[in-house]
Chain A
């Protein structure tokens, strides 16, 4: 069975600072990995995904993530935080082609301070 661990339930950064949200996964088969963002009182929106190929994945709103198989990690980064990035971020893993059965991490709430 796969699982996802997000280190840090709450991350606070200053506007313009680097954003780093950590995600580690466990999976017995090659994983498909996702980052979703949830703004207050809204549904989840896909930021980026890794399936196969290039291990550095670029997503929307300037975010990117790198798949590191040796470290079983898929950390999310953004060079310069903006106030509008304040939201909750979820890392998720899908086993193989089962894109209807995601296992989510517990989420990281990102606060951006002016």
Chain B
């Protein structure tokens, strides 16, 4: 299994540009999440999904859109990039199996710079 994969690894945008960060997992996990990591802030939840067609907002959703048309993919869209969105973005996936509580698996991250 490849686990959780993210593309691209690095990206530089100009203010106002749009782009999509890709995330895919091959573990058949129901749940997927996007976090951003900023120095001294830890990781903060942007959006999450509990299954195909179901998404919801996390702690810092403004400026980001998501959709989940398949179990495997959970892309994150920046509609009009701003310098405040300069960050490292992590995608994560997890699943549930009865009484067993399972942790989130994280991708390698996308480092985004907005000029």
Chain A stretch 9-60: residues in CB contact (< 8 A) with chain B = 9, 32, 34, 36, 42-46, 49, 51-52
Min C-beta distance of B72 to chain A, whole Å: 16
Q: Is the CB of A100 within 8 A of B48?
A: yes
A101 interface residue per 8 A CB criterion: yes
Is chain B's interface secondary structure helix, strand, loop, or mixed overall? strand
Q: Which of the four size classes fits the interface of chain B?
A: 20 to 34
Interface size on A, residues (CB 8 A): 25
Rounded to whole angstroms, the CA-CA distance of A26 and B55 in the bound complex is: 26
B53 interface residue per 8 A CB criterion: no
Rounded to whole angstroms, the CA-CA distance of A106 and B41 in the bound complex is: 5
B-chain residues with CB within 8 Å of residue A44 when the two chains form the complex: 43, 90, 92, 106
Q: Is the CB of B40 within 8 A of A104?
A: no
